[in-house]
Amino acid sequence: MNEIVRIDNLSKKFGSFVSVSNLFLTVNKGDIYGFLGLNGSGKTTTIRMLLGMVHPTKGSVSYFGKKLSDHNQAIWNQVGYMVETPYAYPNLSVKENLTLFGKLRGINSQRQIEETMEMIQISAYANVKVKYLSLGNTQKLGLGKALLHRPSILILDEPTNGLDPSGIVDMRRLLYTLAKDHGVTIFLSSHILDEMEKLITRMGILHHGQLIRELTMNDFKAVRKKSLRLKFANGNPSVVTQLKRLGFSPQTLENNEFIIKDQHSVNHPEQVNKKLASCTIYPSNFWVQQETLEEYFIRTIKQNGG
């Protein structure tokens, strides 16, 4: 089945405050779905409803076509999650912790524990007590707990929270490997948009509890703004006139930098370069600037009332 999660008209009110409003969303097999939103936009509330930790005011959540309910506990055999820095016993080693958490889930196979440690790339620390682990490795261990029963989908709320830059990159690579090599579908929220840009295959932007945009990474690559940038080593007051004479409509930035935005030029920078050279205009830097996910996210939020 392609559709793993379906969120259908989901809303949550706390008193009169609407935290999540009329949310429709699907997560398909193989997605690495980035759930993006500012602080307080309703991401955690949604994730808690996905995990049955918060009861929706309205709407439903389904996994594999079956609605989440108290009578359908078997669903949790296929779901793994990490919603906050997960607990581990500090005086037990990584392996002892996973063995213990495995037993609580009815998993007694040492092989499965070893395989889990390989999946989360922590085997080198198998015998290290958890209290001596870095935060990055503690988060990996949390992922290991979530993966012990080999779920089809992993739901993660801010998995890189508190990690240093190298821990963040490590976590991104690990999640990519889990999706690519182990076929795990991932739904995750994060604030670190430049990392998300390198990882996710689809995204939903949540704003004031509403899903204001949903698109694939390929859609994003097609719709993001692009412009041609020219930078000159030295100031030349006639550049703008020369560029206009060549048919361009340049905008001037600081530091002898100019932007050309017309689509033909952006799509054919080599033709622009040729024209410039024919008039002995030689920029020291010449490149196509693409809107980053962070810039696109901020633009989308602003278009929706900021």
Ligand X SMILES: Nc1ncnc2c1ncn2[C@@H]1O[C@H](COP(=O)(O)OP(=O)(O)OP(=O)(O)O)[C@@H](O)[C@H]1O
Residues that bind ligand X (CB under 6 A): 14, 17, 19, 37, 39-45
**What does residue 41 show for φ and ψ, rounded to 5 degrees?**
-80, -15
- Starting at the edge strand found earlier in the chain, the sheet holding 202-207 runs 79-82, 153-157, 185-189, 32-37, 202-207, 210-216
* Minimum distance of ligand X from residue 189's CB (angstroms): 7
Whose Cβ is closer to ligand X: residue 43's or residue 145's? 43
* Minimum distance of ligand X from residue 43's CB (angstroms): 4
* Minimum distance of ligand X from residue 12's CB (angstroms): 8
Q: Check: CB of residue 105 under 8 Å from CB of residue 98.
A: no
* Minimum distance of ligand X from residue 165's CB (angstroms): 20
* Minimum distance of ligand X from residue 4's CB (angstroms): 21
* Residue 299 structure tokens: 């633009």
Residue 266 CB contacts under 8 Å (≥ 6 apart), including other chains: 226, 227, 228, 260, 288
Whose Cβ is closer to ligand X: residue 93's or residue 190's? 190
End-to-end CA distance of the chain, in Å? Answer: 38
* Minimum distance of ligand X from residue 211's CB (angstroms): 12
Q: What are residue 80's DSSP bridge partners?
A: 154
Whose Cβ is closer to ligand X: residue 20's or residue 239's? 20
* Minimum distance of ligand X from residue 187's CB (angstroms): 14
Q: What is the CA radius of gyration of the chain?
A: 24
Whose Cβ is closer to ligand X: residue 14's or residue 132's? 14
* Residue 72 structure tokens: 């359908």
Whose Cβ is closer to ligand X: residue 45's or residue 116's? 45
> Residue 256 burial by CB count (10 A; 0-12/13-18/19+): exposed, middle or buried?
middle
**Which 3-state string (H, E, C) describes 146-169?**
HHCCCCCEEEEECCCCCCCHHHHH
Whose Cβ is closer to ligand X: residue 13's or residue 129's? 13
Whose Cβ is closer to ligand X: residue 196's or residue 272's? 196
